[in-house]
Amino acid sequence: MADTDTVRRRKPESRTPATNEPGHDTASATEDSDVEEIIRPGFPPHSESRNGGKKKKAPKRRIEDEDESNPWLLDILRVISFLFLASCGLSYLISNGESFFWGMSHPPNYLQLEWWKSQLRGPIYLTPAELAAFDGTDESKPIYLAINGTIYDVSANRRTYGPGGSYHVFAGVDASRAYVTGCFAEDRTPDMRGVEEMFLPLDDPAVDNKYWTPEELKQLKRKEMEEALKKVNDALKHWANFFGKSKKYRFVGYVKRDKDWLKKEPVPKLCEAAGRGRTPRSPPEEEKKKH
């Protein structure tokens, strides 16, 4: 008698099945051909017992999982982080500490599309009539102004140079004279003739004839004229440099005029506001005290 704890399993016997007789059941024949296989409790099934009772070693999934992971995702994150920090640092340097995120109020020219277009296109030439169309009344157009014959785009400060702005009188025109005289409404012209008068002293015959001979007075007036012309030139140069070196405004081109255009225009009179600053010529003693 077999042990009571023994489990009996039927195992197919390798023998030739019965002949095909009427009523013969193939499944029954298979079951009849099985033999008992003794399996003791605690032992693995026959598929494992053939290997000496040892379980097959599971594959090292941990190693495979590590190999099949996506380390390139981490690399991408590192690259993105580096580029972000580099961008912030570069923005800080270029904007002179204004922004880390390229939010500059007035980005440098090489970061502006219009600047690159102007570099490829070259300077434009506009007649005074054509320049007048860029005075800001048409919002689809930029705002241009000119000084000493050079045109600048001042659209970055539309509130000031556009309609209703405090310096709208300069938009769409070359008003070089007004920059020096301060007469914005009257002197919207590039004609600088006579502006030097604002820096010349007034003649006073009683004082002049008392302190200078006619020849001395002639030489003195020549010197005064040279100094006055220099002041006009320096004042105009100051404003020309203001626009030319500005980070907000962009060079556009030049005003196109006839070479002899000044000959066709009458000499402007010195505006009243500019003439108020003139005083009589001082005696030599007082002039020395001033210096």
What's the start-to-end Cα distance of the chain, in Å? 141
Q: What mean pLDDT do residues 90-114 have?
A: 63
Q: What tokens does 179 get?
A: 């920059």
Residue 280 pairs in a beta bridge with: 202
Q: What is the pLDDT of residues 1-52, one digit of tens each?
A: 444 444 444 544 444 444 444 444 444 444 444 444 444 444 455 444 444 5
> Residue 188, SS3?
coil
The answer to whether 62 and 53 are in contact (CB under 8 A) is no
- Give the pLDDT confidence score for residue 287 in this predicted structure: 61
Cα–Cα dist 101/207, whole Å: 67
- H-helix segments, 98-202: 113-121, 128-131, 158-161, 176-181
Q: What is the pLDDT of residues 217-253, one digit of tens each?
A: 999 999 999 999 999 999 999 999 999 999 889 999 9
Q: What is the pLDDT of residues 184-196, one digit of tens each?
A: 999 999 999 999 9
Residues in CB range of 284: below 8 A, 6 or more apart: 211
Cα–Cα dist 33/14, whole Å: 8
pTM beyond 0.75: no
Cα–Cα dist 150/20, whole Å: 115
Neighbours of 32 (CB within 10 A): 12
Q: What is the pLDDT of residues 202-214, one digit of tens each?
A: 999 999 999 999 9
Cα–Cα dist 155/252, whole Å: 12
| 95 vs 246 pLDDT, higher one | 246
Q: Is the pLDDT of residue 271 over 90?
A: yes
Q: Is the pLDDT of residue 182 over 80?
A: yes
The answer to whether 197 and 268 are in contact (CB under 8 A) is no
Judged by phi (left if over 0) then psi (alpha if -120 to 50, else beta), residue 97 lies in left
Q: What mean pLDDT do residues 277-288 have?
A: 82
- Give the pLDDT confidence score for residue 56 in this predicted structure: 52
- Give the pLDDT confidence score for residue 75 in this predicted structure: 85
Selection from 279, 128, 278, 272 nearest residue 191 by Cα? 128
